[in-house]
Amino acid sequence: MRIIFLTVFLICAGSLVYAVYLQLVKNLLPCPLCVAQRLSYWVIGLTAIVAVAHNPRSLGRRLYSGVMMIAALLGGVVATRHSWLVRYPDSFECGISSEEKFLNSLPIARWWPTMFEANGDCSESSWEFMSLTIPDWSAILFILMAILSGYALLVRQR
Model pLDDT, residue 74: 95
Model pLDDT, residue 107: 63
Model pLDDT, residue 102: 64
Model pLDDT, residue 61: 87
Q: What one-letter code names the amino acid at 123?
A: S
Cβ atoms of 71 and 149 within 8 Å: the answer is no
Predicted model pTM:
0.80
Q: Which residues pair with 132 in a beta bridge?
A: 129
Kindly give the confidence (pLDDT) of every residue in the chain, 158 residues in length, as a single tens digit, with 9 standing for 90 and above: 889 999 999 999 999 999 889 888 888 888 888 888 999 998 999 999 999 998 888 888 899 999 999 999 999 999 998 888 888 776 655 545 666 666 666 666 666 566 666 666 666 777 767 888 888 999 999 999 999 999 988 887 66
DSSP string, 67-100: HHHHHHHHHHHHHHHHHHHHH-GGGS--S--HHH
Model pLDDT, residue 77: 95
- In the chain the domains, ranked by start, together with CATH numbers, are 2-91+99-154 (1.20.1550.10)
Model pLDDT, residue 72: 96
Helix axes 134-154, 32-54, angle to 10 degrees: 30
